Amino acid sequence: MTRLGLLEDQKAILTAKKDLLSEKRGDIYVREQKALGEALAGFYGVFPEDVVVEVTRGSVYFKMDHPNVNYKKELFSLYLRENWNFEEGKDKRSYTGIDLSYYTTSTKGVDLWELKRLQMLGKIAEVIYEKHDEIVDAANAAVLPFKEEYAEVYKEMQDVGSEIRGVENLITYLEKEKIEKDLKGEGVDFGRGKNIQLKFNYSPNVVSIKLIDLSKSGKKGTAVFKWNHAGNASQEENVNVSSIIDQVYGLRENIIQPTLAE
C-alpha cells in the first residue's frame, strides 16, 4: 500500500472515531433535554391530553390540535435565557431567567381553540409570575450533571479533529509533491480542457501541461501546454511554479493518468 493509501486509511479511522463521538454528544443532549423537561413539568402541571410539550435547546413549546389545520399548532413557548458570562469567577449557571413567548390575536364569538389557549396562557403566566426563580434554579440543577460529560466529549472531538487536520495536511503535501514531480517530468494530462492561469491576464484552456527550464531558485519556469480546442502545443515563459502546482492540485480529480496512485 502507498503512503497516501495508509494516510487515507488513518483518516478514515479517525473520521469514524469522530462520528462515534458525535453520536455520544447527541445521546448526552437527548438525556439532558429529557431531564430538563421532567424538571420543568413539575411546575406547569398537567395540560389537556391533546396538548404536546416539546423541549429542545432550552426551549419549551406547547402545541395543541387545531380543527382547521392538520398539525399541532403552537399555543405559546418558554425560553430559558442562557448565561453567556464565561469570565473567570463569574456566574457559571447555564440559565439566568425564563421568558414567556406568545402571539396576540382577537376572537370572533366563541372561538373554542383560542379561548382555551388563553386559559392555558393565563395558567402558565401565573406559574412564571409566582415561581420564576424556582423554575430557573430547577433548570440549572437539571442540566448541571451533563456539563462534565459535554466537556469530556468536546475535548475528545477537538483532539480527534486536530489529528484529522494533521493527516489531511500530510496528504495534501504528498499529493502536491507527486503532482510537482509529474509536472516537472512527463507532464499532466486532463480529461477535458481546464483553464490554468499562467500570467495575471492569461489563462489558456489546456488539456496538458508541464514545466521546463526552471530557474535556479525553482520559483520560475516555462509552462509547455496543449490547447484544448486546436490541440496545438504552446508555451509561456517566466510562470510562477508554485501557482501552477496549486492550480493543478485543485484540478486533480480531472487528471487522467494515475498521478496520485503510486
pLDDT digits (tens, 9 = 90+) for 193-244: 999 999 989 999 999 999 999 999 999 999 999 999 877 899 999 999 999 9
Note whether 174 and 5 are within 8 A (CB). Answer: no
Q: Which residue has the cell 510562477?
A: 240
- For residues 48-65, one letter each, b for 16 or more C-beta atoms within 10 angstroms of the residue's C-beta and e for the rest, the string is eeebebebeebebbbbbe
> Is residue 1's pLDDT more than 80?
no
Helix (H) or strand (E) holding 188: strand 188-195
Q: What is the mean pLDDT of the chain?
A: 90
DSSP class of 202: B
Higher pLDDT pick, 15 / 104: 15
Average pLDDT for 25-51: 88
- Cβ atoms of 94 and 32 within 8 Å: the answer is no
- Summarize the confidence of residues 36-57 as an average pLDDT: 84
Domain spans in the chain, listed from the N-terminal domain onward: 3-164, 184-254
What is the rounded distance in angstroms from the CA atom of residue 5 to the CA atom of residue 13? 12
Q: What's 252's DSSP letter?
A: G
Spatial CA neighbour of 248 closest among 199, 194, 205, 173:
194
Q: What is the C-alpha separation between 125 and 99, in angstroms, rounded?
A: 10
CA distances from 102 to 25, 79, 90 (A): 31, 11, 32
Question: What's the average model confidence in pLDDT over 139-153?
Answer: 93
Give CA angle at 37 (30, 136), nearest 5°: 115
What local confidence, expressed as pLDDT, does residue 261 receive? Answer: 41
Cα separation, 121 vs 118, in Å, equals 5
Q: Residue 256: is its pLDDT beyond 50? A: yes
Q: Please report the pLDDT score of residue 262 as a whole number.
A: 46
Q: Which residues of 140-167 are buried (b: 16+ CB within 10 A; e: fewer)?
A: bebbeebeebeeebeebbeebeebbeeb
Which residues lie across from 95 on neighbouring strands? 82
Total length of the chain: 262
